[in-house]
């Protein structure tokens, strides 16, 4: 089992046929089914091939190969914007953003925050969209024209430009959520409304996901 200070950790042990996956978050443990693991990890020639938002470390222990997988961001945290437009990033996320990050307009009325490395991958995918397609041009403008580089200060704060705060209707209190490979910054009221709607329609959402093979 591995113990990590950021995100969630998954440990695997035993033979391939009887691996037991565990999610760790705080002091809680969640067992998940093998089919979900297959979404996160795909094997090629017997070696794990991991998605961009994961980090691997292979070890030999007792003749068995262990794989550590770190998923970058999860959880939700309430914060306050100060008078200079700065917001503190949760401590557990700061190491992942220490190399720089990008804030841009997101979907559903929030802002998206990407580590520099993940932003580069997203930008490359956007650049591959067909320029002759109107929706592709619109999405590229939304993501790229609204993006700005930010750096954490010594106390772990980033500065949000006024145009991004206006876009997300951010006034004073915000909720920062971890969503796998990015953070989202929501106005407190907007997050409460979105979460309430999701909770009320969770069964419908689950059924729709099942239809696409999740």
User: Does residue 192 belong to any structural domain of this protein?
Assistant: yes
User: Of the candidates 31, 51, 71, which is a domain's last residue?
Assistant: 71
Clarify whether residues 178 and 83 are in a common domain.
yes
Clarify whether residues 54 and 101 are in a common domain.
no
User: Does residue 177 belong to any structural domain of this protein?
Assistant: yes
pTM of the model: 0.66
Question: Which residues of the chain register pLDDT less than 70?
Answer: 1-71, 214
User: Does residue 108 belong to any structural domain of this protein?
Assistant: yes
Three-state secondary structure of the chain: CCCCCCCEEEECCCCHHHCCCEEEECCEEEECCHHHHHHHEEEECCEEEECCCCCEEEEEECCEEEEEEEECEEEEEEEECCCCCEEECCHHHHHHHCCCEEEEECCCCCEEEEEHHHHHHHHHHHHCCCCCCHHHHHHHHHHHHCCEEECCCCCCEEECCHHHHHHCCCCCEEEEEEEECEEEEEEHHHHHHHHHHHHHCHHHHHHHHHHCCC
User: Does residue 1 belong to any structural domain of this protein?
Assistant: no
User: Does residue 172 belong to any structural domain of this protein?
Assistant: yes
For residue 169, what pLDDT is reported? Answer: 95
- Condensed to tens digits (0 to 9), the pLDDT of residues 137-173 reads 999 999 999 999 999 999 999 999 999 999 999 999 9
User: Does residue 85 belong to any structural domain of this protein?
Assistant: yes
User: Of the candidates 71, 87, 114, which is a domain's last residue?
Assistant: 71
Clarify whether residues 135 and 189 are in a common domain.
yes
Clarify whether residues 96 and 190 are in a common domain.
yes
Clarify whether residues 110 and 165 are in a common domain.
yes
For residue 63, what pLDDT is reported? Answer: 53
Clarify whether residues 104 and 145 are in a common domain.
yes
User: Does residue 2 belong to any structural domain of this protein?
Assistant: no
User: Of the candidates 71, 89, 121, which is a domain's last residue?
Assistant: 71
User: Does residue 208 belong to any structural domain of this protein?
Assistant: no
Clarify whether residues 121 and 97 are in a common domain.
yes
Domain that holds residue 161: 73-199
For residue 208, what pLDDT is reported? Answer: 84
């Amino acid at each position: 089992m591995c113990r990590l200070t950021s995100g969630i950790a998954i440990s695997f042990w035993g033979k391939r046929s009887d691996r037991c996956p565990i999610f760790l978050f705080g002091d809680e443990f969640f067992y998940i089914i093998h089919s979900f693991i297959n979404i996160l990890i795909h094997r090629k020639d017997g070696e794990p091939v991991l998605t961009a938002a994961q980090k691997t470390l292979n070890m030999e222990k007792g003749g068995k190969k262990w794989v550590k997988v770190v998923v970058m961001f999860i959880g939700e945290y309430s914060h306050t914007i100060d008078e200079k437009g700065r917001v503190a990033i949760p401590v557990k996320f700061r190491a992942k953003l220490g190399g720089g990050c990008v804030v841009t307009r997101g979907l559903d009325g929030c802002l998206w925050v990407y580590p520099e490395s993940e932003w580069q991958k997203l930008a490359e995918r956007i650049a591959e969209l067909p320029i002759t397609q109107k929706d592709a041009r619109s999405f590229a403008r939304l993501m790229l024209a609204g993006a700005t580089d930010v750096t954490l200060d010594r106390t772990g704060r980033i500065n949000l430009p006024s145009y991004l705060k206006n876009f997300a209707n951010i006034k004073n209190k915000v909720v920062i959520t971890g969503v796998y490979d990015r953070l989202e910054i929501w106005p407190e009221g907007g997050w409460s409304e979105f979460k309430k709607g999701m909770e009320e329609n969770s069964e419908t959402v689950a059924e729709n996901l099942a239809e696409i093979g999740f």
